[in-house]
Structure 1
Amino acid sequence: MSPLAGTAAPVTPDAFRAVMGAHPGGVSVVTTADESGQPYGFACTAVCSVSLDPPLLLVCASNTGSTLPVLAARGAFVVNFLHGPGQRAAEAFASRTAGRFSRVPWEPAPATGLPALHEDSHALAECRVERLVPAGDHTVVIGEVLRTEVAEDAAASGGSATAPLLYGMRRYVTWPV
């Protein structure tokens, strides 16, 4: 018999949140826009590379948020990988309050024209939606990476201004350099 087999009680949402929160992850803001140009976005720690050939990544989007339907309809999105000073963007996009894009500077990304948070990011990936996979209360969005950017000092030196922002154990920290 497996050591994990047995009659364990179902895992509660709070217990699952606690175990996942104990493992820090990089913080990103996923952005898109509707057909009229209205920007949408959400904070995300569920970002993962999927494939090098073709270049694919995934993000997990809440089924109840306002961004997923817009992202699916638009068929494109930008992953803004936040650096330490980008915590303000993380906090703005983790909230469900309106006006998130008025709280952070942004500009259209070169390939997709979608919102890019250059001042708060050390890297970004512009993506085309490859596939949407329903998974519980979220949807796994697989994107083909069309274009990337990495801040020069992030690639060369890991400078503190561009060190990645992490979230875990209910707090933000910057990757030590």
Structure 2
Amino acid sequence: MRDQAHRTLTLTAPEPPGVDPGEFRRVLGRFATGVVAVTAIDPAGRPTGMAVNSFTSVSLDPPLVALCVAHTSTSWPSIRASGRCCLNILGGGQRPVSAQFATRGAEKFAGLSWFPAPSGAPLLADALAWLDCAIDDEHTAGDHDIVVARVEAAGLGADHDPLVFFGSRYGTFDAH
């Protein structure tokens, strides 16, 4: 009688070909995204912020959203330290706001009107919509962190067309 012992067979899949970072960026550039200004009050009481286009809803119950932040961000440490943030969804006319929030070392709020969201984080005038959040969790993923935030208040703002990022360019479309 043959030995009935089970043997484990391990198969090794061939190593997949590498993905060129430039080509990867071009491919992902074909995915249109909205643009969000992430704002907070830093521990010293000053407004701080940054622009992101890697943003998505995660859960309706509980209400959770996620955004991706580069490890090289100089604004994220201040936002993280506050424990709270307001996610301002930008409209088509707010391209200069996005550029200002995306510029390293820039005075992010120069010339901008804002008022406090329920948490106190800056809510930008003319944002299409906003989500006032508590930073819930953070996960390291390659050269970025995936930040999960719990939405504690939200609202609609100005009724404008959205600001869209596609193919390394900004644009908009008629949403009405």
Give the fraction of aligned pairs with identical amino acids, expressed as a percent. Answer: 34
How many angstroms apart in 2 are the aligned matches of 1:92 and 1:59?
19
Cα deviation code 1:59-82 (max 9, x no counterpart): 111111122222222111111000
Structure 2 unmatched runs, 5+? 1-13
- 1:80-91 aligned within 5 A: 80-91=88-99
Cα deviation code 1:109-153 (max 9, x no counterpart): 2x111111122x1100000011111111111110110110103x6
How many angstroms apart in 2 are the aligned matches of 1:38 and 1:18?
36
User: Could you state the TM-score of these two structures normalised by the residue count of structure 1?
Assistant: 0.84
Q: Which residue of 2 aligns with 1:113?
A: 120
Structure 1 unmatched runs, 5+? 155-161
SS at match of 1:102: coil
Q: Which is helix-richer, 1 or 2? A: 1
How many angstroms apart in 2 are the aligned matches of 1:145 and 1:172?
27
Q: Which residue of 2 aligns with 1:158?
A: none
Q: Are the structure 2 counterparts of residues 97 and 35 from structure 1 closer, same or farther at C-alpha, using a change threshold of 3 Å?
A: closer
Structure label with greater radius of gyration: 2
Runs of 4 or more, structure 1, over 4 Å off, are: none
Residue 7 (structure 1) shift: 4.5
RMSD across aligned positions (CA): 1.7
Residue 165 in structure 1 maps to residue 172 in structure 2: no
Q: Which residue of 2 aligns with 1:40?
A: 48
User: Could you state the TM-score of these two structures normalised by the residue count of structure 2?
Assistant: 0.85
Q: Which residue of 1 aligns with 2:86?
A: 78
Residue 56 (structure 1) shift: 0.4
How many angstroms apart in 2 are the aligned matches of 1:21 and 1:103?
30
Kindly provide the amino acid, as one letter, of the partner of residue 55 in structure 2.
Answer: V
SS at match of 1:124: strand
Equivalent in 50, 67, 74 of residue 66 of structure 1:
74
